[in-house]
């Protein structure tokens, strides 16, 4: 029996080493899932869009930088905003992919 799990079984917190490991792993996975779901919800709240809508929004804003007749100041401001949004897009995408992976384990 694992030296980390043994005291938990001895104190009847878990009935067996296998039960302890299963329950502890399940709790760990659920913490990961809950944290990533929270991160995704925060992004959805921040932009008022789901991920697919945000991707379309970001694409349109990027195209606006290329095709529109903006002043230098407007272009620089939009460029900074798009760069920040692209950073959020990357974090959001990573959170979604990690969430899908964790849900596959659940």
84 occurs within a structural domain: yes
Q: Which domain holds residue 95?
A: 6-105
Q: Which tokens belong to 33?
A: 């899932």
1 occurs within a structural domain: no
Mean pLDDT of 70-79: 92
pLDDT band at residue 3 under the 50/70/90 scheme: confident
70 occurs within a structural domain: yes
50 occurs within a structural domain: yes
pLDDT digits (tens, 9 = 90+) for 6-42: 999 999 999 999 999 999 999 999 999 999 999 999 9
Whats the size of the chain, residue-wise? 106
What does the alpha-carbon distance between residue 40 and residue 36 come to, in Å, rounded to a whole number? 6
pTM: 0.81
What does the alpha-carbon distance between residue 13 and residue 28 come to, in Å, rounded to a whole number? 17
48: left (phi over 0), alpha (psi -120 to 50) or beta: left
67 occurs within a structural domain: yes
Structurally, the chain folds into a number of domains equal to: 1
pLDDT of residue 1: 54
pLDDT of residue 105: 72
35 occurs within a structural domain: yes
32 occurs within a structural domain: yes
pLDDT of residue 22: 93
pLDDT of residue 4: 86
pLDDT at 68 over 90: no
């Amino acid at each position: 029996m694992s030296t980390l799990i043994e005291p938990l079984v001895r104190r009847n917190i878990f009935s067996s080493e296998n039960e302890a490991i299963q329950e502890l792993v399940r709790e760990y996975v659920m913490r990961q899932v809950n944290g990533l779901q929270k991160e995704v919800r925060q992004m959805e709240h921040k932009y008022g869009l789901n991920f697919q809508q945000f991707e379309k929004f970001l694409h349109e804003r990027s195209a606006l930088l290329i095709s529109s007749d903006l002043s230098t100041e407007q272009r620089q401001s939009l460029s900074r905003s798009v760069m920040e949004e692209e950073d959020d897009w990357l974090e959001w995408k990573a959170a979604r992919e990690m969430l899908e992976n964790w849900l596959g384990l659940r």
